Structure formats: structure tokens, C-alpha cells
């Protein structure tokens, strides 16, 4: 019996292999190697130079790519219920139905049901680690080297801060809306949240600390100029800013602007600011390889310390937190680049300000770091300028652009900051041209 069954087993195995081969190499696949998924764009958190201090993990990272989903998960508004009716109560408790509840008073809630939209993909951003959040964002502490610095701060970022809806068909338009759906597919706007009825009888509202957006003029290029900060509502309408972040009174509606994101749009969640880069925009941006080539080029020129005559070198991109002995340092008032030395360290100046041995100007003396997050660069120029006071180095056009951008800070102030570490910029311009000394030989 056993002898007879062997050939049959072989035949069965061969048949199985053939069918497996068919599965693995369908004629369709042989002719068209698997297509790369469509990328809508990327969100990059300002203040991190390429990765989070303790490393990128899962949904917590310094940049997040939005890809076309295998199945669409977008939603669009459908039925409106004025609560007090059992139907509305059912809509709220229905875990399979997305809905937004606007509490007008204890007696009245308006519930807007949302239905599946097969033409769009939805991505959600917020502080919560619950599963509906695709990209977990925590408060940015300027210049913090570890997440332990950030844990004690009471967060102002909403747990379900905002959602981005991308069209699944070209040109893959991305739109931003305030608030995200929670684990029971609900958005609740409580009694205290700013909300109102629109002219066409729909409801709309703002979240507690708001979602602000700024679209740059002339795109994200070396000709970019800052745009105007606006607030985006739960339904994606555009408003001028409130007096303070959480004021009850909404700003004026801006009719001729939309919630459509463009390359270089900034999204502020009150505690963290994100830069949106489109896939097309990123294809024109310098790569990390290009930045590495620029680093090697500057090191190959063997810049020297004018005091110690030792050769200076920018450390590798991976060692971006530890001061290296060959590290270049700069006097921020004049831009003269040196190696580390004790010249001109006058005790009575608290050790903060130093006198440059080249030109005698007095000011801060800091180590220089390369800006490694390529997404922040507006061009592919050489690293000739540094932000002040942090010493992050990048191209001239990039320093000029970010130094003009007023970034939201706290509940009602704005200031320019270094995109690589979020430090508030100082000095007249916020950046300085670096003056290297070449080798004497």
C-alpha cells in the first residue's frame, strides 16, 4: 500500500507546486512587477533632527508617510439628527457608525452621522495611543535630548487632534479637518466648545485649543514666503485666528481659502507643529545621501581652527548629539568658525559670552550641528549658514526661510524657531553666515 501511495503523493505535490507557482507568478505580475504603493505625502514634526530623541518607534516617530490604503476608509457627512430622538441616541451608541455630536445644551444635541466614502482615505493624528490614531504626536520641548524631559509637561495637544482626508485618485488632494474620531468612532464637541449652525443648516465647530494651518506663498521652494495662519474647523472651513487659542468666540470665516494642504503647509496642534510635504515636493528635496555628500565635501576642504590650527570636521549624521573633539564651533556674533578652545572665556561674563580671537566681537560660542532632516530644506544648497543660538547648519535659503516664519508658541504668541530643534531664534536675523578658515598649507 505504502509503495503505491508514493507516486500519488508526488503527483499531488507537483500539482500543489504548480498551483502555488500560479499564485506566486500570475501572468499579470510577471509583466508588471508589484507596483509601489501611492504615497500622498509626509508629515514631519518640527524640532527633531531626523528622529525622536529615544528613537522612532511604531506610530511615534518624527516623520510619518501617508500611503494609499489597500481599502478606502474615508467618511463623509450624511444624516443630521436633532437629539432628544431615540434615533440620535442610537447613532451615538452605534460603534460601527462614525458621527460628530454637537452638544448645544443639556436638552439638545445635534448628531451628524458620517457614511463610508470609497473615494478617500482618512489618517488621524493626536496624542492618544488608541488604535484610531495613525500618527501619535507629543509636545515638542525645544532642544530636549530625551523624552524624559517632556513627560512632566501637561500636554496641550488634543488626544484626537485632527484628521487628514486624501483623495484616492490623482491629483491625490489632501484636506485637513479639526478633531479626530475616537475608538467608538465619535467626535464629541461639549457645551464649552465653540460651535454654530452654518447658513445651509449644517453644524460646525472648533476644538478647544484649535488646529492652525499656514500655507506658504510660492509653494515650498527657495522663493517661498510665509503665508497667514488660519484656524480650521471640524468641517474643514477656514477662519481667522481667535483672540487666544481657546477663546469662545470664533474668528471670521475666510471664504476664498480652503483646507486643502499644499507642499510646505504647516499644521499647528498647540504643542507640536507639523510640516506637510507632498510626494512630488519630496522628490525635489535633497536626500539624506545628498546632505551626507555635502558634509563630506566640507570636511574634505579641511577647515582649520585659526587658534589651534587643528583640522575641523562635522561628525557623521548618526552622531548628532555628542560633541566631537574635531567639532566646529562658532562665535554667533561674527560667524568665525573655530575648534573648541578656552580663549576669551572671561569669568565675569558667566561663561556664556566669549570674545572671538579673530575680530574681538563678543557673543555666544556654540558647537555647530548639521541639519539632518532633509524635509526642512527649501533647496539643495551647501551648508553655509547656521541658526542662532542653536548652531544648526544648513543652506542659506533654508535659514532665510525659517527665520521669517512666525510659529505659534503657547496660547497667543508667535516666534521664529529653528526647524531642527525648535529653539526660538535670537539676534537680528536669527541666523549667521559661517566664516571657515582653510588649511594654511
All three cell numbers of 100: 460628530
Spatial distance between the Cα atoms of 341 and 345, rounded to a whole number of angstroms: 9
CA torsion angle 68 71 73 77 (round to 10) = 110
Helix (H, G, I), strand (E, B) or coil at 12: helix
CB within 8 A of 419, min separation 6: which ones? 46, 47, 275, 371, 373, 376, 402
Supply the DSSP string of 407-425, one letter for each residue.
Answer: EEETTTEEE-B-TTT-PBP
What's phi and psi for 108, nearest 5 deg? -135, 130
Largest CA distance in the chain: 100
Cell of 313: 570636521
CA dist., res. 401 & res. 421, Å (int):
16
- Nearest of 161, 160, 175, 159 to residue 74 by alpha carbon: 175
What is the rounded distance in angstroms from the CA atom of residue 324 to the CA atom of residue 225?
A: 36
Residue 284's alpha-carbon distances to 63, 288, 310, 359, 439, in angstroms, are 17, 13, 37, 40, 34
Residue ranges with strand state E in 279-418: 329-331, 337-338, 353-355, 362-367, 369-370, 385-387, 392-394, 407-409, 413-415
- What pTM was estimated for this model as a whole? 0.87
What the block records as the C-alpha cell of 373 is: 532632516
Structural domain spans, the chain: 39-142+153-284, 288-436
Cβ neighbours for 215, distance < 8 A, ≥ 6 positions apart: 227, 257, 261, 262, 264, 265
Query: From first to last of its 441 residues, what are the pLDDT tens digits of the chain?
Result: 444 444 444 444 444 444 444 444 433 333 455 678 999 999 999 999 988 988 888 999 999 999 999 999 999 999 888 866 656 656 666 788 999 999 888 788 889 999 999 999 999 999 999 999 999 999 998 876 554 544 556 889 999 999 999 999 999 999 999 999 999 999 999 888 899 998 888 899 999 999 999 999 999 999 999 999 999 999 999 999 999 998 999 999 999 999 999 999 999 999 999 999 999 999 999 999 999 999 999 999 999 999 889 999 998 877 656 788 899 999 999 999 999 987 666 554 455 788 999 899 999 999 999 999 999 999 999 999 999 999 999 999 999 999 999 999 977 899 999 999 999 999 889 999 999 988 765
Task: Judge contact between 329 and 369, C-beta under 8 A.
Answer: no
Sign (positive or negative) of CA dihedral 284, 270, 415, 430: negative
For the beta carbon of residue 364, count every other beta carbon within 10 angstroms: 16
What the block records as the C-alpha cell of 390 is 542653536
Query: Is the peptide bond prior to 116 cis by the omega test (within 30 degrees of 0)?
Result: no
- Give the CATH number of domain 288-436: 3.30.40
pLDDT in tens, 121-162: 999 999 999 999 999 999 998 876 554 544 556 889 999 999
CB 344 within 8 A of CB 355: yes
**Angle at CA 370, nearest 5°, toward 143 and 53?**
40
Amino acid at each position: 500500500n505504502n509503495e503505491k501511495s508514493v507516486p500519488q503523493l508526488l503527483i499531488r505535490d507537483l500539482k500543489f507546486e504548480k498551483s502555488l507557482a500560479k499564485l506566486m507568478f500570475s501572468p499579470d505580475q510577471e509583466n508588471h512587477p508589484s507596483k509601489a504603493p501611492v504615497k500622498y505625502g509626509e508629515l514631519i514634526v518640527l524640532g527633531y533632527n531626523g528622529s525622536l530623541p529615544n528613537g522612532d518607534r511604531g506610530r511615534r516617530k518624527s516623520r510619518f508617510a501617508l500611503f494609499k490604503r489597500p481599502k478606502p476608509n474615508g467618511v463623509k457627512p450624511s444624516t443630521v439628527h436633532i437629539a432628544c430622538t431615540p434615533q440620535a441616541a442610537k447613532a451615538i451608541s452605534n460603534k460601527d457608525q462614525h458621527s460628530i455630536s454637537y452638544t448645544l445644551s443639556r436638552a439638545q444635541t445635534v448628531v451628524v452621522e458620517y457614511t463610508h466614502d470609497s473615494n478617500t482615505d482618512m489618517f488621524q493624528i493626536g496624542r492618544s495611543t488608541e488604535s484610531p490614531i495613525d500618527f501619535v504626536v507629543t509636545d515638542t520641548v525645544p532642544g530636549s535630548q530625551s523624552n524624559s524631559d517632556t513627560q512632566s509637561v501637561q500636554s496641550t495637544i488634543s488626544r484626537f487632534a485632527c484628521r487628514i482626508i486624501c483623495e484616492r485618485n490623482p491629483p491625490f488632494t489632501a484636506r485637513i479637518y479639526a478633531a479626530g474620531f475616537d475608538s467608538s468612532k465619535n467626535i464629541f464637541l461639549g457645551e464649552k466648545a465653540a460651535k454654530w449652525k452654518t447658513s445651509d443648516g449644517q453644524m460646525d465647530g472648533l476644538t478647544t485649543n484649535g488646529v492652525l494651518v499656514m500655507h506658504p506663498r510660492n509653494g515650498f521652494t527657495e522663493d517661498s514666503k510665509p503665508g497667514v495662519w488660519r484656524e480650521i474647523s471640524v468641517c474643514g472651513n477656514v477662519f481667522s485666528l481667535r483672540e487666544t487659542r481657546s477663546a469662545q468666540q470664533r474668528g471670521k470665516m475666510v471664504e476664498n481659502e480652503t483646507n486643502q494642504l499644499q507642499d510646505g503647509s504647516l499644521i499647528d496642534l498647540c504643542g507640536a507643529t507639523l510640516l506637510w510635504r507632498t510626494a512630488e515636493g519630496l522628490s525635489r528635496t535633497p536626500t539624506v545621501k545628498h546632505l551626507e555628500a555635502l558634509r563630506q565635501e566640507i570636511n574634505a576642504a579641511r577647515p582649520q581652527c585659526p587658534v589651534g590650527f587643528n583640522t575641523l570636521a562635522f561628525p557623521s549624521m548618526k552622531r548628532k548629539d555628542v560633541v566631537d573633539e574635531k567639532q566646529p564651533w562658532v562665535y554667533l556674533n561674527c560667524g568665525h568658525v573655530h575648534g573648541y578652545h578656552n580663549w576669551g572665556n572671561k569669568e565675569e561674563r558667566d561663561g556664556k559670552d566669549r570674545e572671538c580671537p579673530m575680530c574681538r566681537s563678543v557673543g555666544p560660542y556654540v558647537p555647530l550641528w548639521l541639519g539632518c532632516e532633509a524635509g526642512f530644506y527649501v533647496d539643495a544648497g551647501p551648508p553655509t549658514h547656521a541658526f542662532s543660538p542653536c548652531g544648526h547648519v544648513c543652506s542659506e535659503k533654508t535659514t532665510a526661510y525659517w527665520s521669517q516664519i512666525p510659529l505659534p508658541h503657547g496660547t497667543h504668541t508667535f516666534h521664529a524657531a529653528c526647524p531642527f530643534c525648535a529653539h526660538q531664534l535670537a539676534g537680528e536675523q536669527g541666523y549667521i553666515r559661517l566664516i571657515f578658515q582653510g588649511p594654511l598649507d
